Structure 1
Amino acid sequence: MVSNPRRRTALLDAAVEVLAAQGARGLTFRAVDTEAGVPVGTASNYFSGRDELLRQAAEYVFVRLSPPAEEYQPPPGEGLELLIAQMREITERARVDRAGYLALFELRLEAARRPDLRDFFTERFRVNLDNIIAGYETWQRRGDRVTPVLLYLAMTGLLLEDLTLPGVLAGEGDGDLVTRLVAAIAPE
């Protein structure tokens, strides 16, 4: 396998775009090569097969969607105001990188059919949920594990709706939906 980190990243970005536009069934080496604007056959030099491409795309999508730690600035505020700002920030990041989040949803669906991807996603999302719970418990200074789980589920649903069928929520308060959702689930 070829080792050019920038080219590999470009191919993985292309894979994310293909997943978002065509779904997992459209993820082929040729589609990735075309999206990346590289000669046909390039992706096959970097990934041993389609399963390897899917696995690496699954790992990469988390990198792509996570703000670099050194660049991340938490939103201002505290208490409920901070929690609302954080949820709004997540919503805005999803809108900015719509393809990345759509690819993540597509990979989650593919994980329902592939035990290796399911195990990977279960582990990654479980760690993420444990971090959300720990952060909430620290913020609230109490052991409420249900509230952050409900918030996680509600935000996942909101993002799925907003990114896949935005017309359903059109005119329903947009940013205010985030405020109302958080305030309903996590009152101070």
Structure 2
Amino acid sequence: MARNDDRRRALADAGLSVLADEGARGLTHRAVDRAAGVPLGTASNYFPSRTALIEGLVGRIGERLAPSAEFVREREGLPPSRDLFAQYLRDIARRLLGERQVAIALFELRLESTRRPEIAELLGRWRREGFAVDVAFNARPGLPGGADEIALFHYAMDGLMLDQLTDPLMPEGPIDDILDALVDRLLPR
């Protein structure tokens, strides 16, 4: 059967919605079919197993949360600085909060990975690969901070996003101010 990439993406997007709305236990091929408004059995044609479905969702999360080429292009060649680093952090937060369901689905998968080793392996590999890309991206133009600092920012961003997606500790605090404070405290001058 020929694969339709648009339909595959639509099914993955429906799966992300199901995951965000119902959690990992609600994620079934039938639930994805219903959410996508397609005939029953369609999702299993594109994702023949639950593992294949989750792999498809993880790939789609990466696509939907990737920085825009325009954002990156506008900053190419700028001198490396803490401010430029902060711009990238603010963009990450904007993308995560702008794709609320996708971010929630990612947290759901991370929680499910504590119960299912096959998801832990898949998600762990995906996260480590992404981390390596982040470290290389930071090093290439000479932005401040190395692997240790990038890891600290990942830890901080995960906590901040969980806070912002649920019940914020300080709902009136502008997120850019929080991110700027993180940069000030985690990157030495």
Could you state the TM-score of these two structures normalised by the residue count of structure 2?
A: 0.85
Q: Report the CA distance between 1:74 and its aligned residue.
A: 4.6
Task: Give the equivalent residue in structure 1 for 2:127.
Answer: 125
1:151 touches 1:186 (CA, 8 Å); kept in 2?
no
1:110 touches 1:117 (CA, 8 Å); kept in 2?
yes
Superposed counterparts of 1:38-187, under 5 Å: 38-67=38-67, 69=69, 72-75=72-75, 78-138=80-140, 139-140=142-143, 144-166=146-168, 168-187=169-188
Aligned residue pairs, count = 186
Q: Percent identity?
A: 38
Q: Report the CA distance between 1:173 and its aligned residue.
A: 3.6
Look up the SS of the partner of 2:45 in the other structure.
helix
Q: 1:71 to 1:177 in 2, by over 3 A?
A: closer
- The one-letter amino acid paired with 2:127 is F
Q: Report the CA distance between 1:39 and its aligned residue.
A: 2.1
Q: 1:152 to 1:170 in 2, by over 3 A?
A: same
Q: Report the CA distance between 1:67 and its aligned residue.
A: 3.3
- The one-letter amino acid paired with 1:176 is D
Partners of 1:50 and 1:170 in 2: how far apart?
Answer: 37
2:90 touches 2:176 (CA, 8 Å); kept in 1?
yes
Q: Report the CA distance between 1:137 and its aligned residue.
A: 4.3
Partners of 1:158 and 1:145 in 2: how far apart?
Answer: 20
Q: Report the CA distance between 1:146 and its aligned residue.
A: 2.3
Cα displacement string for residues 27-55 of structure 1 (whole angstroms, at most 9, x for unaligned residues): 11222112111123322222223232122
CA RMSD, Structure 1 to Structure 2 (Å)? 2.4
- The one-letter amino acid paired with 2:30 is R
Look up the SS of the partner of 1:172 in the other structure.
coil
Cα displacement string for residues 32-83 of structure 1 (whole angstroms, at most 9, x for unaligned residues): 1121111233222222232321222122221222135477435577401111
Look up the SS of the partner of 2:173 in the other structure.
coil
Q: Report the CA distance between 1:107 and its aligned residue.
A: 1.1
1:11 touches 1:32 (CA, 8 Å); kept in 2?
yes
Task: Give the equivalent residue in structure 1 for 2:18.
Answer: 18
My pick for the range that moved more, 108-117 or 154-163, is: 108-117
- The one-letter amino acid paired with 2:170 is L
1:162 touches 1:169 (CA, 8 Å); kept in 2?
no
Q: Which runs of 5+ in 2 are unaligned?
A: none
Look up the SS of the partner of 2:154 in the other structure.
helix
1:94 touches 1:101 (CA, 8 Å); kept in 2?
yes
Could you state the TM-score of these two structures normalised by the residue count of structure 1?
A: 0.85
